[in-house]
Amino acid sequence: MTSVPYLLSRHILCPLHERVLGRRTFARLRQIEREQWRSPVEVRLLQMRRLRSLLRHAVRNVPFYTARHKPTSRAERDGEPDRLHLRALPTLSKQDIRAHTDELIWPESPGRLRPYSTGGSSGDPLRFFIDRPRQASDAAARILTHRWFGVDAGHRELFLWGCPIELTRTDRLRAWRDGLFNHRLLSAFDLSRERMREYTDVFRRFRPRCLFGYPSTLSRWAEHLMTYEETLPIGCLRAVFVTGEVCDPVQRRTLERCFQVPVADGYGSREAGFIAHQCPAGSMHVIASEVLAEVLDGDRPAREGEFGEIVVTHLHAFGMPFIRYRTGDFGRLLPGRCPCGRGWPRMDAVQGRRTDGIHLPDGRFMHGLAVIYVLRETPGIEHFQVRQTSDFALEVQVVACEGAPSDVLRRVESGLRRVVGDQIPVRVRRTATIERAASGKHRPVISDVDASAASSSSGASRTPRSAVAVGSDAALEEAIA
């Protein structure tokens, strides 16, 4: 569908959509726009007030926390949780959520809880529920952080993301809805030369205000553009937003060189929420109005500036509270205030997120989520790992849960064949356990294929030139008028 005029989308369609769904997203947005400029002391006091409210609610109304909370003062024994004793509650793991899903839900939660599941990028898909205030909180944080770079709700956004190539009726309805908000979604699962040329044509017609996607796939598209000297009207662009993976310095330089706009990193997850985002001054700010972030070394708080596991409490998740949730990602909180003037804490680059991609002999590259989605949707699978060997073959390990279908391995192989075709061998085997990396993180997709060798085998051997782009602000104004 064609794009919708910005003013119509921003001031009518987007607010109407949120109101119909019962989400006070734009009211929340106005509040956090003010709160971001408060001093660090004021921000901390605000967090403590919201945390006290959440803890009081959780230990009174949510069975999981009622059973586990050990009062540390007379006030707490009388039913008033002490705001200084968040650590009296144990941390929450993915295993806890799987084992106690029903106990983590507020039985009398007003409104409908929406079921969610993680994308399975950790190899361990997780199912949980989110209430409307939590949805509004995350949506408001996303709009706010994009505004930092001149991109507002209703502006044209082009996503290179984990969506299926073949669309179902539901996918088409979702695409139509996204079109009302000027969102255009392209699949990150097929990055053949022909497909990337199609995406280039989409960019030229759509003229987006920003790009959004995985750094690995966006940088690969950027390399394609520079290699084949394909021009883009980048005068319309204000930023490239990357998330889902660590954006390494080479990828960042490639994106900045090609698109000639700032590259901003976002960090969050479906279960933990919108945690942090990079500002124009380069700092990664914790969205402290919405989440409380801790960094733990084992079970003790890490010192300021010391790396550890990121543990998050979402301050607006009352329907299914995630209190002290262990993300499995690593980072550190930094001292000092950002030159941008925001009072929210700063976080260093997150370490530990890595998902390799799949290379095919014909030169095509697929994001690892293309195969992850197959395994996530196959019933009976508890854990998995896919390794692509140096000869392009896929070696798949599957830990099946009790009661899994007898043909679970055949289903996995058939599903992967639909994704990768018949070019490479696919071998699936059942195992009792899957070995983790030295860091303790589980890597769901590992590729031993040399990327440069894969590209050269397909004939893509031209040397990238400097950034190729044309455009102007005048063209931008004409495009969004």
pLDDT tens, N- to C-terminus, the chain (481 residues) = 568 999 999 999 999 999 999 999 999 999 999 999 999 999 999 999 999 999 999 999 999 999 887 665 555 555 555 444 677 788 999 999 999 999 999 999 988 899 998 755 555 678 999 999 999 999 999 999 999 999 999 999 999 987 655 556 666 777 788 889 999 999 888 888 899 999 999 999 999 999 999 888 999 999 999 998 888 898 999 999 999 887 878 889 999 999 999 999 999 988 999 999 999 999 999 999 999 999 998 888 988 888 888 999 999 999 999 999 999 888 899 999 999 999 999 998 666 555 678 888 888 888 787 888 888 888 899 888 999 999 999 999 998 988 889 999 999 999 999 989 998 999 999 998 887 654 445 678 898 887 655 555 554 444 333 333 333 332 222 222 2
What's the pLDDT score for residue 353? 59
Structure tokens at 222: 């950027």
Strand 263-269 to 239-242 pairing: parallel
Strand 210-213 to 239-242 pairing: parallel
**358-457, which class in CATH?**
alpha beta
> Which residue pairs from 44-51 have beta carbons closer than 8 angstroms and sit at least 24 positions apart in sequence?
46/288, 46/289, 47/288, 47/289, 47/292, 47/315, 48/83, 49/83, 50/315, 50/316, 51/83, 51/86, 51/292, 51/313, 51/315
Its pTM stands at: 0.77
Which residue type is seen at 440? G
Q: What are phi and psi of 279, to 5 degrees?
A: -95, 170
Residue range(s) occupied by CATH 3.40.50.12780 in the chain: 6-347
Residue range(s) occupied by CATH 3.30.300.30 in the chain: 358-457
In whole angstroms, give the CA distance from residue 14 to residue 19.
Answer: 9
Give 398's contacts (C-beta < 8 A, 6+ positions apart). 375, 381, 383, 384, 408, 409, 412, 428, 429, 430, 431
Residue 450 bridge partners (DSSP): none
In whole angstroms, give the CA distance from residue 348 to residue 332.
Answer: 5
Residue 286 bridge partners (DSSP): 276
> Would you say the C-alpha torsion 252, 355, 287, 87 has a positive or negative sign?
negative
What's the pLDDT score for residue 78? 54
Judge whether 424 and 393 are in contact, CB under 8 Å.
yes
What's the pLDDT score for residue 305? 86
Structure tokens at 188: 């990150």
Three-state SS for 88-129 is HCCCECHHHHHHCCHHHCCCCCCCCCEEEECCCCCCCCCEEE
What's the pLDDT score for residue 439? 43
Chosen CATH of 6-347 out of 3.40.50.12780, 3.40.50.1860, 1.10.1240.10, 3.40.50.300: 3.40.50.12780
What's the pLDDT score for residue 403? 87
Residue 277's nearest CA partner among 142, 157, 183 is 142
